[in-house]
Amino acid sequence: MGRHGISVEQRIAENIEIDSNGCWIWLKHKDNNGYGRIWANSKTLRAHRVSYETYVGPISEGLELDHLCRVRHCVNPLHLESVTHAENMRRGDHSNKGKNNAIKTHCLRGHEYTEENTYRYKNGRYCRACNSIRAFANYHRE
């Protein structure tokens, strides 16, 4: 049991939304790299790792999880595979710097890139919802 007698499985179930691709989209806090965060084992951990270890088992030392769906805030253990760092980097095709953004379906905060929620500026694609959040925060900061 975790905080307040709620199991990790319950907290995962209460904090996801399942999309049309079967991704378990993490709805709570995300770190600066877009990975979901969850309180477990008396500390804040990456939610996809906790989900994998809860439903599949431990991640072997020297291995990391690759999101087969390419959605960083997906915590569906069926979309995760434990691989070496080299394999994860190879799959991510980092030699194509910047072009991987074109295949992303959601921004770092988890908003879907839809026609209504996306605008283009110069050579980039941007989330309107995140832009509104930034504008609101900047307005109230002054």
CATH code of the domain containing 69: 3.90.75
CA–CA separation, 76 vs 118, rounded Å?
26
Residue 136 included in any domain: no
Containing structural domain, residue 48: 3-96
**Number of folded domains in the chain?**
1
Q: Which secondary structure element, helix H or strand E, spans residue 132, and what is its range?
A: helix 128-141
Residue 75 included in any domain: yes
Task: Identify the pLDDT of residue 124.
Answer: 77
The pLDDT profile of the chain, 142 residues, written as one tens digit per residue, is 555 678 999 999 999 999 999 999 999 999 888 899 998 888 999 999 999 999 999 999 999 999 999 899 999 999 999 999 888 887 775 544 555 566 678 887 888 888 899 988 877 788 999 999 888 888 887 6
Residue 54 included in any domain: yes
Helices (runs of H) and strands (runs of E) counted in the chain: 4, 8
CA–CA separation, 118 vs 129, rounded Å?
8
Relative to beta strand 80-84, strand 63-67 is antiparallel
Residue 56 included in any domain: yes
Residue 80 included in any domain: yes
